[in-house]
Amino acid sequence: MRHRRARQDSRGCCVSRKRPEAVAARGAAERLAATPRPPESALKDWISSASVRVKPSLTDFDLSGNAGEFSGVQWFVFGHADEFMSHPALRHLDMPQRNAVSAARLAHFLDDMTLTEHRIVNVAAQVIAENRLRAYLPERLAIDALKLYTDEGYHAYFTAQASRAIRDRFALPVHDAPNPKIAALEALVAGVPAPRRDLAWFMVGFVGETMITKAIVDTMRATAHTGLLALLQAHLEDEWQHARYFAQLFGLVWPQLGAADKAFFGALLPTIIQAFHTWDEAFHRHLLAQIGLDSAAIERVLAQEGSETRRTAHMRSRCGNTLQVLERSGVFKQAALRTVFVQHGLLERDSARGGRAARAP
């Protein structure tokens, strides 16, 4: 009887002859295994963690307590970190007045946040969700933008409710003047040539979503009201995921951009960071007039708060996370781009290390 010898592969393992279709199937499986798996989305646990899913009680937000309690108790934290409240022109204010000023600023922050959620971040989320960046992102990550879109709608809702409750409690007038930050961001994207506009919205979403956690943390530090803290904490937890999601997307998009796109968007990014920190002088002028400051004192406060030094310091204190992602993605390896960030006061000149995030104050 003829003995049929099995072939041996280079490692000495036996392999048997296969039919051509079996070989082809194995080849396809090997190619599939060799293809890098799309990264796992930062929003993969959204169903069990997003506040819109697990914290419906946030829709019931209200400021309980009587009016005297709210005006006479220090439920805003007045620290040295808050340079506006520490200005000499405001030193004479008593606690109810200080609470009223802080309440107006908090309502302004919350109104700004509500607008930012649906007028800015959700426009970026739409661009991704409609798969308009399909050249750079896998479809699964694009679909996940709808989770973020849903979150932002919920945040806008409970944030607007909190703002209204604060305005009711402190009898604050509605401040419905145009928001200069929203206008600046929309004008910035409108100025980008149409073929690059989807990517510009993506960059705006990336910058906004990697900076918002710091803004929420700063507001939490200045607030002593537990109901409000719970609301901000829920928002913060969602935004940690959003920041991770956008950082992940940026890490996928940036390396795929051509040299011209890298030059264009690398120069656009610092202007986006700047636009996000557009100073609302009209609001603060109105607020200072309301508490009875004379025009000379108002100008002194505005000159200090609106100064380039103060604005740059504020911007730097908020964008550390964004700059870290840019550094990780290799943006600052390009000397020309690093220079643009240095010119905007976002990076320190450091020829030895090739650029380092400017130190926050």
Which stretches of the chain bind Fe ion, using CB under 5 A?
Answer: 152, 155, 239, 242
SS3 label, residue 233: helix
Given the complex with Fe ion, which of 242 and 284 has the nearer CB atom? 242
How many of the other CB atoms lie within 10 Å of CB of 162? Answer: 26
CB of 112 to Fe ion, least distance (A): 12
Query: Could you give the C-alpha distances from 271 to 197, 278, 345, in angstroms and in order?
Result: 15, 11, 11
Distance, CA of 262 to CA of 272 (rounded, Å): 15
How remote is the C-alpha of 242 from its chain's centroid? Answer: 8
Given the complex with Fe ion, which of 122 and 223 has the nearer CB atom? 122
Task: Supply 329's token pair.
Answer: 């993605």
CB of 52 to Fe ion, least distance (A): 10
Given the complex with Fe ion, which of 56 and 292 has the nearer CB atom? 56
How many of the other CB atoms lie within 10 Å of CB of 115? Answer: 16
CB of 223 to Fe ion, least distance (A): 17
Residue among 231, 37, 51 nearest 148 (CA)? 51
Phi, psi of 134 (to 5 degrees): -60, -25
What are the DSSP calls for 146-211, one per residue?
Answer: HHHHHHHHHHHHHHHHHHHHHHHHTTPPP--S--HHHHHHHHHHHTS-GGGHHHHHHHHHHHHHHH
Distance, CA of 73 to CA of 69 (rounded, Å): 6
Given the complex with Fe ion, which of 101 and 228 has the nearer CB atom? 228
* Number of continuous H segments (helices) and E segments (strands) in the chain: 16, 4
CB of 239 to Fe ion, least distance (A): 5
CB of 349 to Fe ion, least distance (A): 33
CB of 129 to Fe ion, least distance (A): 14
Given the complex with Fe ion, which of 107 and 212 has the nearer CB atom? 212
Given the complex with Fe ion, which of 55 and 242 has the nearer CB atom? 242
Given the complex with Fe ion, which of 155 and 338 has the nearer CB atom? 155
CB of 152 to Fe ion, least distance (A): 5
Hey, which residues does 356 pair with through a beta bridge? 348
Q: Detail the DSSP E strand segments found in 180-288.
A: none
HSE toward the beta carbon, residue 250, CA cutoff 13 A: 33
Is-contact 124 149, C-beta < 8 A? no
Given the complex with Fe ion, which of 236 and 293 has the nearer CB atom? 236
Task: Supply 359's token pair.
Answer: 């130190």
Give, for 8, the enclosing helix (H) or strand (E): strand 7-8
CB of 177 to Fe ion, least distance (A): 23
Is-contact 232 219, C-beta < 8 A? yes
CB of 99 to Fe ion, least distance (A): 26
Given the complex with Fe ion, which of 128 and 337 has the nearer CB atom? 128
